[in-house]
Amino acid sequence: MQTNLKCCLLLLAGLLSVLHTAAQGRLKFFNTCTGSSNYRLTNGDTVIIQCDSSLLMNSRNFSIYQSAYQQYRKGGNSSEILRSYETLVQQQDSMIANGQQDYTNLKLQFDSLFRSSIASLDRTSRDIGIVKDTLNNVSTQLNNTNIIIGDAIKQVNQARKKSFLDKLYWGIGGLGIGVAVTAIIAAAN
């Protein structure tokens, strides 16, 4: 176990030193399979591991391993290593718990958004139904109004024809009476 820990720390040290010289956002190859190397990775880097296994650590986990290794080198016992391991496990458990809490919060927000979306769709559907009914009522009233207007136009046209014929009959009657009266007066003279 001590040899593995030393190899891991050496691997990390090598990884960090090599990665420090590389630029951000580049393609990095990890091909030192028989030793330990440090690579400094930054956001956006792509790492291609050309070995069957590798160990990657962030700075927080590295500091835990480093402190355990230093305690071991100072003559510490294996209980310190176990405490460091417990610290690492506790950190990972808290990360998992935080992730679970974040997931639960996001799920609650999504469910709330889903329910409010469904409620909005239901309201919109009801409103569309009301507008459709209103449009049908307006359409029926317009059709009835068109029928009434058509009947009124027919009555007005019939009244005009009757009025014209009445005037014509009165005019012809008056002309006939005027001719008759003139003929009677002319015959009397």
pLDDT digits (tens, 9 = 90+) for 22-76: 445 677 777 777 766 667 777 777 878 877 777 777 777 777 777 777 777 777 6
Higher pLDDT, 88 or 100: 100
Instruction: Enter the pTM of the model.
Output: 0.40
Which residues have C-beta within 8 Å of that of residue 46, sequence separation ≥ 6? 26, 27, 28
CA angle 27, 29, 33 (to 5 degrees): 165
Q: How far apart are CA 189 and CA 182, in angstroms?
A: 11
For residue 9, the tally of other CB atoms under 10 A from its CB is 19
Q: How far apart are CA 138 and CA 144, in angstroms?
A: 10
